[in-house]
A and B are shown apart, each in its own frame.
Chain A
């Protein structure tokens, strides 16, 4: 009854402790209740353990642990029960409780090997401080099970006793139990770690390899091993480190030079590599140098050495690429497979240059790796499309051609493969070839078809298929030749014509391509039309660099053809209407037309500019009068030249022209010619002198920033030039030996009279008028008083007492041909000089006396301006030796410039001396204005 009661109570307690918070109290009360009855306790413990097992089976791990704790509490010496509890505690994450449970279990039953093994395994996994010692102790009394040997070996390995571990591992390895595999794998990893930590990399690697073969994942350990090896190679002695650094530096420099196409000196590199033989980049540089020197074996050896050493990814990629190129170009026969492999590996290590990518692409095709080739070409085109790779139009075209070639071959295979699965073994060569091609064994497929084409009279289809495979493998020339043979058997096959045309076009044989594409277009191949247009466009651009301008009609015609094709494609629903090729072609044509438009606009703008410049040059510029008004200082010089023109150019023309007319009347053609030649022919003639004078005037204008257009804008000179121009034709006519007809003579005479009018009336009057209007400035009291006031206001005169100006003039109409500014300058300087010379006198008295003089020979009249003072006398040399930029020196220069002179004269008292300026007197006789002259010229 008691037992029943106890069982009931325990059951109630178990039910109660399913609530975790109530567990300790419930277990304690149960233990207290059964403490004195061992059998009851054993039965109760078994019952509770059974309940715990059920809970564990129902995956209620927490309930199971709690329940089993109660059972274990009832049977503290039941090692198995406590071991079960420890396992459950560990499974539920209670490592500490588990360890305690195992300790209780072993204390209760010291020979319980299962508990010892489990606890030892737990300690080995934890490997904290003395854990391994404790684990070893546990295992020493755990029996002779293979598991014990495995764990003991592991403990030894973890302790660093590699040899002991190996010895114990032999016992572990003898067992082939499945349950031990994981333990064996872990043991192998531990042994490898042990060897690895002792630096025995090779042994460690061997153990890891065996572990991998046993199913363990040793990837991480192998990577660590590789890294450790690399570090070991790098971490060398300081002296060696310096040598390595030097070798790296020399190698980098050598590679730079090789990049520039220069051959670096190899002595220093070889020497550096002898000091640091583990420098990978040095071997790579030696390899590139050897390749540069065409030493294939040495290059290969060095590259292989470099690749066996640790290298940065970029260097490794470069070395692989170099080796790949070496293999591809290997002489006498290309080592295509090895080269392709190396290039592909280089591409995987780092992004290759475009050139290398294209080489790899070709190599992949040649080795029949069409899938990889296709992937690569698409990747490159994608990069070009998104702008990450700069490709020229030609490069893009080449890539597209390669893509099409690959897709063409693959397409051929797919088309041929539709429907029936190709037999693995087939008697038909085409089927065999397709079967091979399906497995990317294009080289063999080609061999089969080539053999078939030699053995039999090959069909057009067979040759076509062969051509596609050849092209897919990069043998463009062979593919084209084969396709030509195919076409010979079926020349009216539009598709074949089109295909051959396209391939030829991609190969750059535009003229040949054009023939086939046009033929395909004639045979009704819709897709040939864009290619025909493209061929014509290429031909057009090749023939003329200025096609956008000169061949606009042809470009429009090409666009019309393309439009026609699109219309047909739309009608046929062929999907070719807006194909990328058509769109690109349309853009190309539009671009050329737009370029032509731009060039035309440019030409028109250029023409307009040139025309405007020419018009400006012909009709722009200014005349002499404007020059003189804007720059009065040029007046005297211009006057001199005009006077010379009037005298030297014009004076004899009238008479001589009259004689020419008279000679012509009398039929004396030779005499007329002689006289006319002296006026208007070459040499020292009037015309030549006119040109000389005009040149002088233009130089004067240019010096003042003005362009004189005497021929068009100046009334005087335009008449002169027009007159001489008129004389040119009669002279040419007279030079002919033929006698003049009456009519010709009359025409000549009319022309000569017109020239006479222009030269002698219009030009002469215009020049004379111009001379007149350029003169004339009245020299009077007003001008002299203004100059006097200006000087008196100067600071230098501030301390002086200056009397009023003594002004005397015996003529009210004294004029000079001189600019006002220059004349004022003359008067101011003379007065300033006189006042300064009289500074000791009070008051200072100066005067201006105006008079005129007439030359007794030439009757030329002069205006005499005398500035008088009371200062001591001067000698003439004192005037003429003055600097020409101020004072009397400046006056002397100015007066001389306008045809006058300077002199000193004694004066009667109260004056002592006079400085006399003598200037040519001018008269206001310019009654005929320039405008009148212009009118005459226009009338003429």
Chain B
């Protein structure tokens, strides 16, 4: 039986699936949900969190809530604004993390995305964004418990 520390963890996702799934975990941390980058930054200003769990895709968020250099992305994609928005939504977890780091938050982050086949990219992400772990989409409860146990500071 894994025992998790009773700490506060900020959960950033566009829906409620993770909250609904993680909140009932026995002996789990206290979860605070943020739906976008600005809410996450506000929470981090007000409260000290042991870590931040980030969803990767925010395709249900309003376009106005998405963070990232839209113009730059659009230029890289041949000037297509629609594709630029989709790109931001698809990788929004990382853009939010970049915002949080830019705001000065240096705590551990856990991103829900399967990097098992993109380990090279993940290593670069670590170099870019500091302490970062990932957990795959197919993680079981046991995997989550294990991952949270390792990831959260005691």
Which positions in A face B, CB cutoff 8 Å?
646-648, 650-656, 658-659, 662, 675, 756, 760-761, 764, 768, 772, 854, 856-862, 876, 880, 892, 895-896, 899-903, 918, 923, 925-926
**Contact assessment for A858 and B94 in the assembled complex, using a CB-CB cutoff below 8 Å:** yes
What range describes how many residues of B lie at the interface?
35 or more
**Contact assessment for B124 and A652 in the assembled complex, using a CB-CB cutoff below 8 Å:** no
- The verdict on B46 contacting chain A, using a C-beta distance below 8 Å, is no
26 contacts between A and B (CB under 8 A): A647-B137, A651-B17, A651-B112, A651-B137, A652-B17, A653-B138, A654-B137, A656-B17, A656-B20, A659-B24, A659-B141, A662-B24, A857-B68, A857-B94, A857-B95, A858-B91, A858-B125, A859-B121, A859-B122, A895-B78, A900-B78, A903-B76, A923-B117, A925-B117, A925-B118, A926-B117
Proximity string of chain B (62-91) to chain A, C-beta cutoff 8 Å, 1 when within and 0 when not:
000000100000011111100100000001
**A143–B140 CA distance with the chains assembled, in angstroms:** 157
From B56, B68, B95, B140, name the one whose CB has the most chain A CB atoms within 10 angstroms: B140
**A756–B139 CA distance with the chains assembled, in angstroms:** 11
Q: Which residues of B contact A899 (CB under 8 A)?
A: 77
A241 to chain B: closest CB distance in Å?
A: 92
Contacts A658-B141, A659-B24; A856 near B79 (Cβ below 8 A): no
Proximity string of chain B (2-26) to chain A, C-beta cutoff 8 Å, 1 when within and 0 when not:
0000000000000001101110100
Contacts A651-B137, A662-B24, A859-B125; A892 near B91 (Cβ below 8 A): no
**Contact assessment for B77 and A654 in the assembled complex, using a CB-CB cutoff below 8 Å:** no
Chain B, Cβ-Cβ closest to A761: B138
B109 to chain A: closest CB distance in Å?
A: 13
B139 to chain A: closest CB distance in Å?
A: 6
**Contact assessment for A892 and B57 in the assembled complex, using a CB-CB cutoff below 8 Å:** no
Chain A, Cβ-Cβ closest to B125: A859
Q: Which residues of B contact A658 (CB under 8 A)?
A: 140-141
**A772–B118 CA distance with the chains assembled, in angstroms:** 11
A115 to chain B: closest CB distance in Å?
A: 141
Q: Which residues of A contact B94 (CB under 8 A)?
A: 857-859
Chain B, Cβ-Cβ closest to A656: B21
Within 8 A of A (CB), among B107-133: 112, 114, 117-118, 120-122, 124-125, 128
**A59–B114 CA distance with the chains assembled, in angstroms:** 143
- The verdict on B98 contacting chain A, using a C-beta distance below 8 Å, is yes
B9 to chain A: closest CB distance in Å?
A: 15
Chain B, Cβ-Cβ closest to A854: B124
Q: Which residues of B contact A656 (CB under 8 A)?
A: 17, 20-21
Q: Which residues of A contact B78 (CB under 8 A)?
A: 880, 892, 895-896, 900-903
Q: Which residues of A contact B18 (CB under 8 A)?
A: 652, 655
**A656–B15 CA distance with the chains assembled, in angstroms:** 14
A858 to chain B: closest CB distance in Å?
A: 4
Contacts A647-B137, A892-B78; A857 near B21 (Cβ below 8 A): no
Q: Which residues of B contact A926 (CB under 8 A)?
A: 117
Chain A, Cβ-Cβ closest to B98: A857
**Contact assessment for A861 and B117 in the assembled complex, using a CB-CB cutoff below 8 Å:** no
B5 to chain A: closest CB distance in Å?
A: 20
Q: Which residues of A contact B22 (CB under 8 A)?
A: 655
**Contact assessment for B76 and A655 in the assembled complex, using a CB-CB cutoff below 8 Å:** no
Within 8 A of A (CB), among B20-34: 20-22, 24
Q: Which residues of B contact A648 (CB under 8 A)?
A: 57
**A361–B151 CA distance with the chains assembled, in angstroms:** 112
A916 to chain B: closest CB distance in Å?
A: 10
Contacts A655-B139, A856-B128, A857-B95; A896 near B121 (Cβ below 8 A): no
**Contact assessment for B80 and A650 in the assembled complex, using a CB-CB cutoff below 8 Å:** no
**A901–B124 CA distance with the chains assembled, in angstroms:** 23
Q: Which residues of A contact B98 (CB under 8 A)?
A: 857
Find A655's partner among B56, B114, B141 (CB 8 Å cutoff).
B141
Contacts A901-B76, A903-B75; A859 near B124 (Cβ below 8 A): yes
Chain B, Cβ-Cβ closest to A892: B78
Which positions in B face A, CB cutoff 8 Å?
17-18, 20-22, 24, 56-57, 68, 75-80, 83, 91, 94-95, 98, 112, 114, 117-118, 120-122, 124-125, 128, 137-141, 143-144
Q: Which residues of B contact A923 (CB under 8 A)?
A: 117-118, 120
Q: Which residues of A contact B76 (CB under 8 A)?
A: 862, 901, 903, 918
Chain B, Cβ-Cβ closest to A771: B117
A153 to chain B: closest CB distance in Å?
A: 129
**A854–B128 CA distance with the chains assembled, in angstroms:** 11
Q: Which residues of A contact B140 (CB under 8 A)?
A: 654-655, 658, 756, 760
A534 to chain B: closest CB distance in Å?
A: 78
**A646–B57 CA distance with the chains assembled, in angstroms:** 12
Q: Other than the known A651-B137, A768-B114, A859-B125, what 13 A-B pairs have Cβ atoms closer than 8 Å?
A: A650-B137, A651-B17, A652-B18, A654-B138, A655-B139, A655-B140, A659-B24, A659-B141, A857-B94, A876-B79, A892-B78, A901-B80, A926-B117
**Contact assessment for A768 and B117 in the assembled complex, using a CB-CB cutoff below 8 Å:** yes
Contacts A655-B21, A902-B78, A925-B117; A859 near B128 (Cβ below 8 A): yes
**A764–B57 CA distance with the chains assembled, in angstroms:** 17
**Contact assessment for B137 and A860 in the assembled complex, using a CB-CB cutoff below 8 Å:** no
**Contact assessment for A654 and B139 in the assembled complex, using a CB-CB cutoff below 8 Å:** yes
A645 to chain B: closest CB distance in Å?
A: 11
Chain B, Cβ-Cβ closest to A671: B24
**A764–B18 CA distance with the chains assembled, in angstroms:** 18
Q: Which residues of B contact A768 (CB under 8 A)?
A: 114, 117
**Contact assessment for B121 and A646 in the assembled complex, using a CB-CB cutoff below 8 Å:** no
A540 to chain B: closest CB distance in Å?
A: 68
**Contact assessment for A880 and B79 in the assembled complex, using a CB-CB cutoff below 8 Å:** yes
Contacts A652-B17, A652-B18, A859-B124; A760 near B80 (Cβ below 8 A): no
A773 to chain B: closest CB distance in Å?
A: 12
Chain A, Cβ-Cβ closest to B144: A655
Q: Which residues of B contact A764 (CB under 8 A)?
A: 137-138
**A646–B138 CA distance with the chains assembled, in angstroms:** 9
**Contact assessment for B137 and A646 in the assembled complex, using a CB-CB cutoff below 8 Å:** yes
Question: Which 7 residue pairs are nearest across A and B when measured between Cβ atoms?
Answer: A651-B137, A655-B21, A901-B78, A658-B141, A859-B124, A901-B77, A652-B17
A865 to chain B: closest CB distance in Å?
A: 14
**Contact assessment for A896 and B124 in the assembled complex, using a CB-CB cutoff below 8 Å:** no
Chain B, Cβ-Cβ closest to A902: B78
Q: Which residues of B contact A756 (CB under 8 A)?
A: 140
Chain B, Cβ-Cβ closest to A764: B138
**Contact assessment for B80 and A896 in the assembled complex, using a CB-CB cutoff below 8 Å:** yes
B45 to chain A: closest CB distance in Å?
A: 22
Q: Which residues of A contact B79 (CB under 8 A)?
A: 876, 880, 901
Chain B, Cβ-Cβ closest to A686: B17
**Contact assessment for A860 and B24 in the assembled complex, using a CB-CB cutoff below 8 Å:** no
**Contact assessment for B121 and A860 in the assembled complex, using a CB-CB cutoff below 8 Å:** yes
**Contact assessment for B141 and A896 in the assembled complex, using a CB-CB cutoff below 8 Å:** no
**A880–B78 CA distance with the chains assembled, in angstroms:** 8
**Contact assessment for B77 and A896 in the assembled complex, using a CB-CB cutoff below 8 Å:** yes
**Contact assessment for A900 and B77 in the assembled complex, using a CB-CB cutoff below 8 Å:** yes
**Contact assessment for B21 and A652 in the assembled complex, using a CB-CB cutoff below 8 Å:** yes
**A655–B136 CA distance with the chains assembled, in angstroms:** 11
Q: Which residues of B contact A903 (CB under 8 A)?
A: 75-76, 78
**A283–B25 CA distance with the chains assembled, in angstroms:** 110
**A376–B78 CA distance with the chains assembled, in angstroms:** 98
Chain B, Cβ-Cβ closest to A860: B121
B152 to chain A: closest CB distance in Å?
A: 17
B121 to chain A: closest CB distance in Å?
A: 5
**A468–B144 CA distance with the chains assembled, in angstroms:** 106
**A856–B94 CA distance with the chains assembled, in angstroms:** 10
A763 to chain B: closest CB distance in Å?
A: 9
**A876–B78 CA distance with the chains assembled, in angstroms:** 9
A320 to chain B: closest CB distance in Å?
A: 92
A592 to chain B: closest CB distance in Å?
A: 66
Contacts A650-B138, A895-B78, A896-B83; A772 near B121 (Cβ below 8 A): no
**A132–B124 CA distance with the chains assembled, in angstroms:** 150
Q: Which residues of B contact A901 (CB under 8 A)?
A: 75-80
Chain B, Cβ-Cβ closest to A765: B138
Chain B, Cβ-Cβ closest to A928: B117
**A858–B77 CA distance with the chains assembled, in angstroms:** 15
A825 to chain B: closest CB distance in Å?
A: 16
